[in-house]
A and B are shown apart, each in its own frame.
Chain A
Amino acid sequence: MPPLARRLTRRLALTLFVLWGAATFAFAGMRLVPGDPARVIAGGVQANATPQVLDAIRAEYGLREPIVVQYALFLGRLLRADLGGSYQLGRPVSQVIGEQIGATLALAAGAAALGFGLAVALATLTAGRPRLRALSRAAEFCSISTPNFWIGILLLAAFSFHLGWFPVIGDDGPAELVLPCAALALPIAGVLAQVTREGLERALDQPFALTARARGATEHRIRVRHALRHAALPVLTLSGWVLGELLAGTVVVETVFARQGLGHVVVAAVRGRDFPVVTGVVVLSALTFSLINIVVDLLYGLADPRIGAAA
């Protein structure tokens, strides 16, 4: 087997293993919970369900089967991409996720674009310029250290409540995306800018930069055309980390801005211990996370042939 294919197979096998682990962990969690899921399904506290109703629910959701049978049924359904029905929402989890994923993707994509854009702009402007760099580093350290929900609250207070520049609710238009994206992007941009600048500075020290300068290329042309490409590699390795940050960040930012989305759904599900939903979101994110990491890995191999050869 060629090394690339072998690597790919290993990674995919690991992904499957991860998914199985996630699902099993979630299932175990479902069973460890002291509360009775049937109560949650029945509509919680207000809908004070009678024992007959609870029994009907237990039968309907297979809660009366032995635990092993439930586990087998659960895995079987998972294999068919059937995530089951939400306890709290009374609907299939896949439907819930399908409805919410768009808003989250828009937010994450917007924040990623903003974060990378900001980082590249900052790094290009400040690399190799000690004074600007010191200033920018200070700002980067601050943004890395600021929790994104605090940024969100401050942005909301300033731009939505006091200045009224941006709408307070809603998730339909691009205007509603600006503040949440900014809150999500700033901490990420801080890290990315540092890594990008480091890469840029290394590249600018290399002979090709001198050659280009000697040929009369402008400083900006050298930075943007040549050096950035070299700095791209270390940034690429951070993609997995960025994705993790984005996934985690959407959970908090969606809560701050009262946006619809998977983060909102998963927080509500964790609070209400709606395990089918928690399982669904966790399995889905583990899958996305693994797949993106594989893609990054492959890209990395392509960009730097030494890695592929070494593995």
Chain B
Amino acid sequence: MSVSDDTATQVDDEPAGRRGSLRSRRPAVVAAALVVAAAIVLVLVVTTGGRDEPSAGRAGAAGPVAGGTLTYALAGTQVSLDPAVAATAVTGLIDRNIFDSLVVQTGPATFGPWLATKWAVSGDGRTYTFTLRDGVTFHDGTPFTAEAVKATLDHVVDPATKSAYAASLIAPYEKSRVVDDHVVEVTLKRPFTPFLQALSVPYLGIQSPAALAKPVADYRPVGTGPFSYVSWEKDKRVTLSKNAAYASPPAGASHQGAAYLDGLVFEFVPEDATRYGALTSGQVQAIAGVPPVNAGRLRSLGGFDLTVQETPGLNYNLYLNQTRGPLKDVRVRRALSAAVNVAELVKNIYFGRFPVARNPLSRTTAAYDATAESELASYDLAAAERLLDEAGWKKGPGGYRVKDGRTLALTWPYWAEGNKEQRDVLAEGVQAQAKLAGIKIERPAVDTGAFVSKYLIGGEYDLVDVSFARPTPDVLRFAFASGNTYAKAGGNVALVDSPRIDTWVEEAAETSDPATAAKDYAAVQHEVLRQAYVLPLYTPVQLTAFSAKARGVAFDAQTYPVFHGVWLGA
């Protein structure tokens, strides 16, 4: 921080300049000018000299070096550090370093051992028996046993925890039974294939039973992970430090033993441009969410590694509420879909960094079916106009279509706090293009309370946009099963109510035959596009940038960076 000290002297120098002006005018002006000039030169010299030259560190370093603190700047904030309580991606990212999971996801549908060395599933698919790793202790010294697994899962489903997301991941959970210190048996109410995937996410990371026993106000996240919790300054940063005794990395980890880094700091910087500037000026070593507009320049700057990771799960989609107003008519839904030139908008707004979506699922998700896009009503303004004419919506004065004296107006609530990745800009583009087809899209600005109660639960919307990252095709059940409306803690915001879709997603979740599941999931993708319940926009991409000094960066199945093996070069 030598920079700050020297610029401070510049400020202090100003009064001196004015004191000089007491004697007589002309010399005073000259003196003041000199002082200011000197200060500027000083600042220039010091700041340019003190600035990091990221590329300089590349030479000469051989093996990994332990020590140092890495600061990772990211957007978003969190309500709780308890992974079972919070559901935001930020919490998952941070807690991933504090908590280990029972299993690790190693591919689209494959899992490897982590805190559980092996597991067995009963014939009816309802009982999972996990054998646990020996000799692992939590950060607070509590030994890791079957009791901890039971305590964690029971904590998640306990209504007092107020968990929504974590509990919904293991909705069929019935009970855990401690067989012995290192064997635990989990019983489900019904067969549930996505169970292992659910267990692999940080929201179901295994917590210290001693920490969970404390009152909620004194909650501290205590796990067995490579870093332990130090402090949380609300909306500012979370600080973690190395767990020197760490010896339980997941299967396939490139690094064994304790982390190289002494400390890991997550700095919350919500503004895109600011976060980017913090990286290029060397204030932080890594950032999440590099603005697509800056990605090209970052590459050309040198000294930074940009990683591009397509997020698995549901794309960033626009959902069309099929229970309300004009959108009850499938022709109007398909017309809206055809009116918007998604490809052109996405390509230009995101500078080609974000893949244009033509399927509700992202292509890195298991069971993604590329043939489904043939059902999508792609951009064709003439076709859109034709469909609207057929549906009885005629162009009225002002360019918007009218039927029975009503204007073709759709409500798309704008929830500012949830806005990111220039989604508001994309929405403006969608608005402008829909207008050309005569569809009016209104975007009332709403706060969280109204967004949830009036819109998401009250259903007073026609369009809602959302993305949902989770590496499993089971997200299709989350998004389109009739029982999974938002009011019931699901993601079916198009309010789809289709018995066929329900049958497919239920069968896919319960079957142990991968081929059946794939067939079912493909059918869902075709059907929702044919019915235009959803207009896919883009696949969210994790644009993560690390200073070239940070080595050994890897990413897990959730596209979270894994800091365990990261070290700082010279």
Contacts and interface: CB of A to CB of B under 8 A. Distances in A.
Instruction: Classify A-B as touching or not with yes or no (CB < 8 A).
Output: yes
Given A47-B87, A173-B4, A165 B456 contact: no
Interface string B411-431: 000011110000000000000
Given A47-B85, A53-B162, A258-B269, A164 B417 contact: no
Interface string B147-183: 0000000000001101011001000000000000000
Contacts of A36: 449, 452-453
B274 interface: yes
Nearest to A165: B47
Interface in A57-86: none
Given A45-B415, A50-B489, A160-B281, A173 B5 contact: yes
Interface string B501-519: 0000000000000000000
A251 to B, nearest CB: 15
Interface stretch (B16-24, B522-530, B538-546): B16-24
A99 B390 CA distance: 61
B165 A46 contact: yes
Contact of B452 (A39, A169, A170, A258): A39
Interface stretch (B7-15, B116-124, B302-310): B7-15
Interface in B244-299: 267, 269-271, 273-275, 277-278, 281, 283-284
B418 A117 contact: no
A137 interface: no
A50 B159 contact: yes
Interface string B31-54: 000000000000110011001000
B42 to A, nearest CB: 11
Contact of A43 (B11, B86, B273, B281): B86
A155 interface: no
Contact of A42 (B22, B51, B162, B270): B162
A48 B489 contact: yes
B454 A34 contact: yes
A307 interface: no
B280 to A, nearest CB: 8
Contacts of B236: 260
A99 B449 contact: no
A168 B449 contact: no
A168 B447 contact: no
Most chain A CB within a 10 A radius of its CB, from B3, B234, B446, B451: B234
Contacts of B418: 45
Contacts of B7: 165-166, 174-175, 178
Contacts of A176: 4
B88 interface: yes
Interface stretch (A195-203, A219-227, A230-238, A290-298): A219-227
Interface stretch (A1-9, A18-26, A89-97): A89-97
Contact of B86 (A47, A91, A117, A170): A47
Contact of A47 (B29, B79, B234, B451): B79
Nearest to A181: B11
Nearest to A110: B11
A206 interface: no
Interface string A181-208: 0000000000000000000000000000
A34 B444 CA distance: 14
Nearest to B445: A271
B159 A45 contact: no
Nearest to B21: A220
Contacts of A271: 416-417, 447
A88 B47 CA distance: 39
Contacts of A44: 79, 417, 448, 452
A272 interface: yes
Contact of B43 (A34, A99, A165, A260): A165
A228 to B, nearest CB: 11
A47 B165 contact: yes
B79 A43 contact: yes
B22 A35 contact: no
Interface in A95-118: 96, 99, 117
A90 to B, nearest CB: 6
Interface residues of B, number: 69
B3 A169 contact: no
Interface in A129-178: 160-161, 164-170, 172-176, 178
A90 B82 CA distance: 13
B408 to A, nearest CB: 26
Interface residues of A, number: 55
Contacts of A173: 1, 3-5, 8
Contacts of B267: 169
A307 to B, nearest CB: 30
A221 B486 CA distance: 74
Given A35-B450, A258-B269, A49 B162 contact: yes
A220 B283 CA distance: 45
Nearest to A157: B273
B364 interface: no
A93 to B, nearest CB: 12
B406 interface: no
Contacts of B69: none
Interface in B423-470: 446-454, 456
B239 to A, nearest CB: 14
Interface in B356-412: none
A257 B80 CA distance: 26
Contacts of B234: 89, 91, 96, 99
B364 to A, nearest CB: 22
A276 B448 CA distance: 15
B159 A53 contact: yes
Contacts of A96: 234
B452 A45 contact: yes
B556 interface: no
Most chain A CB within a 10 A radius of its CB, from B7, B28, B43: B7
20 contacts: A39-B452, A43-B79, A43-B86, A45-B456, A48-B165, A49-B162, A88-B79, A117-B14, A161-B277, A169-B274, A169-B283, A172-B4, A174-B4, A174-B11, A175-B8, A258-B269, A258-B274, A271-B417, A271-B447, A272-B417
Interface of B: 1, 3-8, 10-11, 14-15, 18, 21-25, 28-29, 43-44, 47-48, 51, 73, 79-80, 85-88, 159-160, 162, 164-165, 168, 233-236, 267, 269-271, 273-275, 277-278, 281, 283-284, 415-418, 446-454, 456, 486, 489
Which 9 A-B pairs have CB atoms at the shortest separation, nearest pair first? A35-B449, A173-B4, A168-B277, A175-B4, A174-B8, A35-B450, A175-B7, A46-B87, A48-B164
Given A160-B277, A175-B7, A220-B22, 20 more contacts: A34-B454, A36-B449, A40-B447, A45-B415, A46-B88, A47-B87, A53-B159, A53-B164, A89-B235, A90-B80, A121-B18, A160-B281, A164-B47, A167-B4, A168-B277, A168-B278, A169-B269, A173-B3, A220-B23, A258-B271
